[in-house]
Amino acid sequence: MASHGEPMTTIWPEGFPRVPDQAWTRSDVKELAVGYDNVEEHGWYDNLDPTVEDIKRVLEPGDIVLDYSGGTGILIGRLLEAIPEMPFGVINVDASKKFLRLSLEKFEKNERVAFRWIRYLKEQERVQRVQEVFEEPMLERGVEALASTNAIHLYYGLEETLDSWRDIIQDDGHVFVQSGNIGLPNDRMPEDSWIIDQTVTAIDEAAQTIARNEDRWSPYTDVLDDEDRMTAYETLREKYFLPIRPLSYYTDALKGAGFHIEDVRHRTVEAKVEEWYEFLSVYHEGVLGWVGGSERIEDEPPTDAAVEDRLALMRAAMEQVFEREDAFEAVWTYITCRPA
Ligand SMILES: C[S@@+](CC[C@H](N)C(=O)[O-])C[C@H]1O[C@@H](n2cnc3c(N)ncnc32)[C@H](O)[C@@H]1O
């Protein structure tokens, strides 16, 4: 760990520019990223609170946190706010240059924040390792802490990703992983709570029932009896909302990568139905693509009117699923580990 009271300039090792000289840093900020960043205002994003507290607890002046898949930088904003005085650095490493670009927009002037884009290498079907985008001085130094929030359930190359974490974290470092999409055995699920993405399947089921029973939706129901197309829509949904994997899948993978699991905690987070609707409506094609069709399946895009109907049906289905309550409880899992 670094000594106390170092000036900011010594945080980043020489030869590690905070902002790399790459085309994405000069591109325009995209709507998609701004759309996601709205969740910052949502109550369910309190899911970050325990991670902020965990990092705050271990952080010392001069330390560097790697925010792996930091996205639009919501955790970074909260960390900077929660720890205003201490000099520390945080590097946002993300696979989406759109999200990273917005994060740069928000924090470019803040000396405490650095950015690295890890590209998807199509021909190798993998995302780059952090080791491929960090300069040698940072690789040699390593980082004191690593956080991954709301993202681990999205990693397709989980083993490779965790190996790269083990290689960059210092031997006495801390890793904080959390997600609302880690499957728990029924006896560990608090009563009346949801794994948040499982609400999407429930909304789809409710929407299908409503559509079959109310005339208003008859223009959209033929597809419901077409098994092949409905399977294609299910596959499309799973691209947006990946199937839930059990907790042991993640803890085993972390152990396999050379980590010792220190702690696993669960916490329920209240999600306002209206806010969850706002979030899901950005991904309406994945939730209820069969209403009005998806270009990827039908070769032509839905009309604007069909998308409007899709959103209206989604809202009706959500009312039913959440029994007209204005909020529901979702379970987040927090895994703390350290190099074994
Ligand atoms: C739901 S967002 C969460 C962002 C941020 N951590 C937060 O809590 O707001 C998921 C993020 O994971 C990133 N991501 C997905 N797969 C990834 C991978 N294989 N490696 C690194 N980042 C990935 C996405 O680009 C996106 O920024």
User: What pLDDT sits at residue 10?
Assistant: 80
- Is the pLDDT score of 118 beyond 90? yes
Beta partners for residue 90, in sequence order: 65, 113
Identify which of 67, 69, 98, 179 to mutate to test ligand 1's pocket (most ligand atoms within 8 A of the CB).
69
Secondary structure of residue 188 in the 3-state scheme? helix
- Is the pLDDT score of 6 beyond 50? no
> What residue owns the CA closest to ligand 1's atom 9?
74
- Segment 245-250 shows an average pLDDT of 97
**Residues having CB within 6 Å of any atom of ligand 1:** 69-71, 74-75, 94-96, 99, 118, 127, 149-151, 154-155
User: Whose structure tokens read 């940072």?
Assistant: 138
- Is the pLDDT score of 4 beyond 50? no
Q: Can you list the domains of the chain with their CATH numbers?
A: 8-179 (3.40.50.150), 186-240+273-327 (no CATH)
Atom of ligand 1 at shortest range from CA of 71: 27
User: What pLDDT sits at residue 9?
Assistant: 54
- Is the pLDDT score of 2 beyond 60? no
- pLDDT, tens digit, for every residue of 262-320? 999 999 999 999 999 999 999 999 999 999 999 999 999 999 999 999 999 999 999 99
User: What pLDDT sits at residue 91?
Assistant: 98
Q: How many CB atoms lie within 10 A of CB 228?
A: 7
The structure tokens listed for 100 are 């990273």
Cα separation, 340 vs 338, whole angstroms? 6
User: What pLDDT sits at residue 3?
Assistant: 42
- pLDDT, tens digit, for every residue of 155-172? 989 999 999 999 999 999
Query: How do strand 259-272 and strand 327-339 relate by DSSP bridges?
Result: antiparallel
> What residue owns the CA closest to ligand 1's atom 18?
155
